[in-house]
Structure 1
Amino acid sequence: MNTKIKKIITACALFLGLGLTAGRVSAAEDTTPVITLGTSLTANQKQGTLDVLKRALSDSSSYNTLTVTGSDLVTYLNPSGSSFTSSSGVWSSAAIEKNSSGSGINVRILNYNGQNNITTITANQYRNAAVTAGITDANIYVTSAIPIDGSGALAGIYKAYAKSGKKLNQKQITAAQDELNTLSGITKENKGKEGYSDAQLNNAVAGAKKEMAQKGSNITKNQIITIVNNQIENNNLTNVITNEQKQQIVNILVEIRDSGALNSSSFKQQASQAMSAIQKSAKGIFAKLNTSENRNALQKLWDAIVNFFTSLFSSFSK
């Protein structure tokens, strides 16, 4: 073979090899977990927070870190009505890692020194907010070294996506924060009420999102109202949720529609997975509800009993 041609082939092979290697590095970086740390943590608290979050990761051998500041709270949370300043403290921290396609959003609030220091936001509220913000198929872990509401953790997650080049839609982030604040407020107002749980409320909202996604972005407010009424009934909250609270839920769902969230092809699936995760985390509650799934299960049991006795009597008559 001509020497010149050999050199050209060798050069091309090296070029392609470098290109393939660069592609693999990019893919690895894309799936590397990110740990967000509040800027107000002391050195000891920072290390303790890192230890807690690293233990939760499926693979803690490699991860990126970023610091969440008061300015980040202003950027990501103030558009929804919060009043943070650049000097606001941040303690709540988070870790986020990509999960397999179609797995949905999984959220765990982790104890710090044996105590849950996230005082206001629940795992289900984080989960619903993440779906609305446009996050897909991820494991999210949240903790705090001191008792705090937990806002900084979500701001950190939004920042992590922006840093990775997958910046989330600010309208969806704002809708997610309004949703989180609304659901957190309703749970606070109904704390201790018989027949109420945060899981039921969040399941109703996730179910409403799923139905909205089925109808598409042109869904009307009246259709949303009907969906909310049905979901509240399905989750046995009719006698608990007030008309004012129901209107608040309708308002946030209208905002979610207007944010463009329903335009995503994965929104329906993520909302559906959120429902499954919520129900799995509170099996005892949902097993008692008069849902269509439970009614179907009871019907199957009744049919089996009827068939058994029908078969039994039939054998006697022969």
Structure 2
Amino acid sequence: MGTGRRKQQLRWVWVALVLTLVASFVLMTLAPALAAASSAAGPSTGAGGSAAPAGAGAPAGAAGSPEASPQEAPAPGKAVVVLGADLTEAQRQEVLRLLGLDPATWDGEPLILTHQEEVALVGDYVPREQLGSRAISSVRVEPAEPGSGIRVETKHITWVAPEMYAEALATAGVKDAVVYVAAPFDVSGTAALAGIYKAYEVSAGENLDAGRKDLGAREIGVMVRIAQEIGSPEKASQFLTLLKERMAEHPPTSREEILALIRELEQQLGIQLSDALREELATLVEKLRDAGIDWQAVTAQLQRVREQVNRFLGEDTPIIRDFFNRLWDWVLAAVDAVRSWFGQ
């Protein structure tokens, strides 16, 4: 009986140790996300259950105003909301909720983005059928802590992954910002970049370089086509991130080197691009190479994004799946370690 009781006690000790280790892992994993959330506005649950910040820090003004004059633009350093000009009043209320704001209490003054502004930015790089004929996508941008990188969350955006926006924004020179993109129904999201630029420039109090903004728009167009061709927005974004990292390490000097690098990364990620898309991507890389961009700074912004669990509860992100996969692997390793301690 004494031996059986001792074994039972050891099993309980084993279970307690594993649970303690699992709890420690969960807390360590969630800490970056909680820290990022606390540095932004306080979180609240918007429509559809997505976590987004509440209206703290929102610009002052009259809610629901159809237009915002330049004199009434929010002060730099504050959260800025840009709404699509063609939203109905009911859709405006819904979009505000999706952006984490309570329409009944928010007293901010949104800026307005027209379809003409969208076309002017991305019209040369995105097929007309994707652009549509109305300005629907809306955004909220707020400054983040220095060194925190770019964080993007989306709702009802079907063609452009959050990582794609982050890539294009880093190319355009955006730094340390929290970005929310939403629509009242599913849209491609290809035109939302214009709204993000507009909001960021007001929030940061400075204009982005026009050439780099154009490169960011071109990037979005190319990445969407890559995502369509390989069937994975996440891999399309990963592909371009790796490409930029390699450009920062060893800038290609010829088109042949660029094409060789593209093929090498295709093999590394297990994807295959068409010849036409490969050539289009090579042209983009040439323009990025010749733009005089500090790629070390760009990749640093993107690296900070990867280091944060910044969309832990997003329904359109693989982070949850990755988290539980890593958690399971870690638990198995902990179990093996505990068993070895007890000689089992």
2:239 aligned with 1:225: no
State the alpha-carbon separation in 2 of the partners of residues 39 and 138 from structure 1: 24
2:235 maps to what in 1?
Answer: 200
The equivalent position to 1:245 in structure 2, one of 264, 274, 277, is 277
State the alpha-carbon separation in 2 of the partners of residues 232 and 206 from structure 1: 13
What is the CA distance between 1:136 and its match in structure 2? 1.5
2:217 aligned with 1:171: no
State the alpha-carbon separation in 1 of the partners of residues 279 and 305 from structure 2: 22
State the alpha-carbon separation in 2 of the partners of residues 140 and 104 from structure 1: 11
The equivalent position to 1:187 in structure 2, one of 227, 239, 250, is 227
State the alpha-carbon separation in 1 of the partners of residues 324 and 276 from structure 2: 28
The aligned amino acid for 2:249 is Q
State the alpha-carbon separation in 1 of the partners of residues 269 and 108 from structure 2: 39
SS of the aligned residue for 1:166 comes to coil
Structure 2 unmatched ranges of 5 or more: 1-73, 326-332, 334-339
SS of the aligned residue for 1:158 comes to helix
Please report the TM-score for the alignment, with normalisation by the length of structure 2: 0.60
State the alpha-carbon separation in 1 of the partners of residues 285 and 230 from structure 2: 20
The equivalent position to 2:173 in structure 1, one of 134, 155, 180, is 134
The equivalent position to 1:33 in structure 2, one of 79, 86, 93, is 79
State the alpha-carbon separation in 2 of the partners of residues 277 and 204 from structure 1: 19
What is the CA distance between 1:62 and its match in structure 2? 8.0
State the alpha-carbon separation in 2 of the partners of residues 251 and 107 from structure 1: 27
The aligned amino acid for 2:248 is A
SS of the aligned residue for 1:145 comes to strand
Structure 1 unmatched ranges of 5 or more: 1-27, 111-115, 192-196, 289-300, 302-307, 309-318
The percentage of counterpart residues that share the same residue type is: 24
The aligned amino acid for 1:180 is I
The equivalent position to 2:118 in structure 1, one of 66, 73, 92, is 73
State the alpha-carbon separation in 1 of the partners of residues 147 and 237 from structure 2: 20
SS of the aligned residue for 2:185 comes to coil
What is the CA distance between 1:278 and its match in structure 2? 10
State the alpha-carbon separation in 2 of the partners of residues 158 and 208 from structure 1: 23
| Contact 2:173/2:209 (<8 A) preserved | yes
What is the CA distance between 1:221 and its match in structure 2? 3.4
State the alpha-carbon separation in 1 of the partners of residues 124 and 275 from structure 2: 27
SS of the aligned residue for 2:286 comes to helix
State the alpha-carbon separation in 2 of the partners of residues 107 and 161 from structure 1: 13
1:159 maps to what in 2?
Answer: 198
2:270 maps to what in 1?
Answer: 236
The aligned amino acid for 1:44 is A
From the CA coordinates, give the structure whose radius of gyration is larger.
1
User: With CA pairs under 8 Å and 6+ residues apart, which has the higher RCO, 1 or 2?
Assistant: 2
Q: Deviations over 1:195-242 (max 9, x none)?
A: xx32122112111112212346x85434433432332232222xx333
2:152 maps to what in 1?
Answer: 107
2:300 aligned with 1:269: yes
Please report the TM-score for the alignment, with normalisation by the length of structure 1: 0.65
What is the CA distance between 1:49 and its match in structure 2? 1.0
> 1 or 2, which has the higher helix percentage?
1
| Contact 1:104/1:137 (<8 A) preserved | yes
What is the CA distance between 1:137 and its match in structure 2? 1.6
2:245 aligned with 1:210: yes
1:90 maps to what in 2?
Answer: 135
What is the CA distance between 1:46 and its match in structure 2? 0.8
What is the CA distance between 1:64 and its match in structure 2? 5.2
Question: What does 1:8-23 align with in structure 2 at a 5 Å threshold?
Answer: none
Q: Deviations over 1:27-77 (max 9, x none)?
A: x94321111100111111112211221349xxx978652110123224423
